[in-house]
Structure 1
Amino acid sequence: MGRLEGKVILINGAGSGIGAACALEYARQGAKVVVGSQSRSSEQVAAQICGEGLEAKPFSAEISDEDQVRAMVAFTLESYGRIDVLHNNAAMTGPEIITRDVDVINMDGDLWDRTMAVNVKGPMFCAKHVIPHMIAQGGGSIITTGSTKALQGDIAQTAYGASKVAVHNLTYNIAAQYGKFGIRANVLMVGLIISGATEDNMPPPVREVMLRHMLTPFIGTPEDCAKAAVFLASDESRYTNGQNLHVDGGYASHAPSLADFRDMIAAMQAGAGPGA
């Protein structure tokens, strides 16, 4: 018996990276999974899951389009009869987007609007059409893949960071508005994760800078996110609502000067010599 035995999970943005890892782990823990993606990459992820003798079906949908969201929810209900977990994972994160998501002065208005449409309006549409079914069945869990970018200013990724602030607050509002109906809504607060696009576009010097400011000796993977997502999807988190679960190697938990002071203390200790 897996930790998600008997549950039906609808996850969007699951064609690769964190979403694909979560979909696979959900299925391995006993859930039936509808793998949603804007592209047909969801078919490959569903095929991998089914290849392990597990249960999954793909569905291609543009979640910023309410009609397509409505169709995706209907497909899930027709396939499996219920929705126990909605995981809003989709976001504009491709390299062609990241390189254009710059500072405020140079922000492209169309890129801003597209980011907000997918990262904020899409999760709202998904929740809007799933929540009534969850209420009717007695409850459910809504997981939002968030980002530590929502807590920090940066030299770029302005639209992405602002969108994550908005979708985090959307999640808290869902918890406040529907918690008494048995619905939990929590944020999987993700930091730097090494996956396909990130690994291919992050030079070693940049990776070393990021690692220096983490509290772990390694950078996380999509599988690390998936393990945490299983907790939020399972009944183990039944008393967890309106919360952030950080999966970021401790990156957002400390003062920005920590790494510098750590290096300074290490240098002082080395200079003092043996027995100091």
Structure 2
Amino acid sequence: MEERHRRLAGITGASRGIGAAMAVRFARDGYDLVLHYNRAQEEAECVAEICRTAGAHVTLIQADFSRTDGIVDWEAGLPRTPDVLMLNAGISRYGLIQDVTGAEWDAMMNVHVRAPFFCARQAVPDMVRQGFGRIITVSSVWGLTGASFEVLYSTAKGAVISFTKALAQEVAPSGITVNCIAPGMIATEMMTNAFSPDELASIADDIPAGRAGTPEEVAAVAAFLAREEAAYVNGQVISPNGAWIC
């Protein structure tokens, strides 16, 4: 593929887990990349090197989306507006609603709601001008159904779904699709840090597929949604969850 014809994919939260798998998948699919990270610089650089080995030109951007002004660093670092924008950055919190602090609320909403909203706002005008764009958000099964002890996280992920559906209707006439991936239990550090091995095994027992999903399986869904052939898939929530939540 000639350099001038390579499309650019932007991925937030790309240093590990689902975001890292998306980066590697899109590099192998012939995209150049803009990869966001917050604190995990070493991991982000490792992902970037893997992607460069696959032939991608990679730009790394550090930005703290838990801050209200975190989006400024993302926008300043962009070489141009991505053709495919994957809004994956996330944080988690497990606990009772009465223990949630105002600071935790602000950080959760900034990362999961404010940052995707303003990342998309930056991208949409250029996507409209070129008559093409793919915006892919990442929610969770808990954004679909809610979960006890994860009320704050479920609230934020539910907002991601509503944002996706509303924006899809707004930009569909301009050749832009906006879709959401709402994964079930995926084998990432976020899961292993939140639950013990016994707890993870117990959850897997409740999943008809009998196992956690992999980040690569989620990345495959994103790769499909980015394709030209997916132009009529718009405003949808796709939940790779092993038939756990149907």
Q: Structure 2 length normalisation: TM-score?
A: 0.90
Which whole-Å deviations, capped at 9, do the CAs of 1:187-225 have from their partners, x for residues lacking one? Answer: 011111112342355333312321222121321111111
State yes or no: 1:241 paired with 2:240: no
> Following TM superposition, by how much is the alpha carbon of 1:49 offset from its aligned partner in structure 2, in angstroms?
1.2
Partners of 1:140 and 1:63 lie apart in 2 by: 23
Q: Which runs of 5+ in 1 are unaligned?
A: 254-276
With over 3 angstroms needed to count, the CA separation of the structure-2 counterparts of 1:67 and 1:113, relative to structure 1, is closer
SS at match of 2:89: coil
Q: Which moved more, 1:81-90 or 1:51-60?
A: 51-60
The reply on whether 1:161 has 2:123 as its aligned counterpart is no
The structural deviation recorded for 1:139 is 1.9
SS state of the match for residue 23, structure 1?
helix
How far apart are 1:147 and its partner, in Å?
Answer: 0.3
User: After superposition, what is the alpha-carbon deviation per residue over 1:225-271, rounded to whole angstroms, capped at 9, x for unaligned?
Assistant: 11111011111211100001111111111xxxxxxxxxxxxxxxxxx
Give, in whole Å, the separation in 2 of the partners of 1:135 and 1:151. 29
> RMSD across aligned C-alpha pairs, in angstroms?
2.0
Maintained 8 Å contact 1:66/1:125: no
Instruction: Provide the C-alpha distance between the structure 2 equivalents of 1:177 and 1:50, rounded to a whole number of angstroms.
Output: 35
Contact kept? 1:73, 1:130, Cα under 8 Å? no
- Work out the CA distance in 2 between the residues paired with 1:222 and 1:177: 30
Q: Secondary structure at the match of 2:139?
A: strand
Q: 1:121-167 deviations in whole A, cap 9, x for unaligned?
A: 01011001011111111120100011000122322121111001111
Give the percent of matched residue pairs that are identical in Structure 1 and Structure 2. 31
Partner residue in 2 for 1:37:
37
Q: Which amino acid aligns with 1:38?
A: N
Give the aligned partner of residue 62 of structure 2. 60
Identify unmatched segments of 5+ residues in structure 2: none
Q: Which runs of 4+ in 1 moved over 4 A?
A: 64-68
Distance in 2 separating the partners of 1:83 and 1:189:
22
Tell me whether 1:91 sits opposite 2:90 in the alignment.
Answer: yes
Q: Structure 1: which amino acid aligns with 2:45?
A: E
TM, length-normalised to structure 1 = 0.81
Matches within 5 A, 1:1-276: 6-39=6-39, 40=41, 41-63=43-65, 68-76=70-78, 78=79, 81-93=80-92, 98=93, 101-199=94-192, 201-253=194-246
Q: Which moved more, 1:58-67 or 1:181-190?
A: 58-67
What secondary structure sits across from 2:48 in the alignment? helix
For residues 21-60 of structure 1, the C-alpha deviation after alignment (integer angstroms, 9 at most, x for no partner) is 1011011111111111123243222122113333322111
**C-alpha distance in 1, partners of 2:35/2:138?**
15
SS of 1:92's equivalent?
Answer: coil
The SS at the match of 1:144 is strand
State how far apart, in whole Å, the 2-side matches of 1:48 and 1:185 are.
28
Paired with 2:146 and 2:125, the residues of 1 have a C-alpha distance of 36
CA apart distance, 1:74: 5.0
